[in-house]
């Protein structure tokens, strides 16, 4: 007995047979991602360009704004996913790799957490 996944087409032109794969590239969502991530990064870095490197606050602002700038692709990915509605509703967390947490047990062991006795670094083999 074979299990066939039905093809779903809710977004015009995008047919999904697996929730974590798209059949074609949604160029509108890619454009939103690029514009939002580059635009927000530029906007976040603007105070650095205005103040210049001679300012005594430049090193502190550089570290704070560089950290904020690293966050802009995350905002862009969420905008492209939820505003452009790609992929289908109900499969977005899986598509973004947020859920399910399948390797959590393996990562716990790597971090020193023993899944057998629920203690850190117990030495249990």
Domain boundaries, given as residue ranges, for the chain: 8-99
SS3 content of the chain, % helix, strand, coil (to 5): 50, 10, 40
Helix/strand/coil for 121:
coil
Structure-token pair, residue 101: 């947490």
Give Cβ neighbours of residue 88 (< 8 Å, ≥ 6 apart).
8, 10, 11, 16, 19
Q: CA nearest 91: which of 81, 83, 101?
A: 81
The pTM of the full predicted model, rounded to 2 decimals, is 0.62
Of the CA atoms within 13 Å of residue 92, those in its CB half-sphere come to 13
Could you report the average pLDDT of every consecutive run of 10 residues in the chain (125 residues)?
Answer: 47 56 82 96 96 94 95 92 78 72 58 59 57
CB 32 within 8 A of CB 82: no
């Amino acid at each position: 007995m074979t299990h066939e996944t039905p093809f779903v087409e809710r977004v015009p032109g995008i047919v999904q047979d697996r929730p974590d794969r798209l059949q074609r590239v949604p160029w509108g969502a890619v454009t939103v991602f690029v514009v939002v991530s580059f635009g927000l990064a530029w906007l976040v870095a603007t105070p650095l360009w205005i103040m210049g490197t001679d300012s005594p606050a430049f090193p502190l602002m550089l570290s704070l704004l560089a950290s904020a700038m690293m966050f802009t692709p995350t905002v862009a990915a969420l905008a492209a996913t939820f505003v452009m509605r790609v992929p289908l509703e109900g499969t977005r967390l899986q598509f973004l790799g947020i859920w399910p947490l399948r390797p959590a047990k393996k990562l716990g062991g790597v971090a020193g957490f023993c899944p057998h006795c629920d203690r850190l670094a117990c030495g249990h083999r």
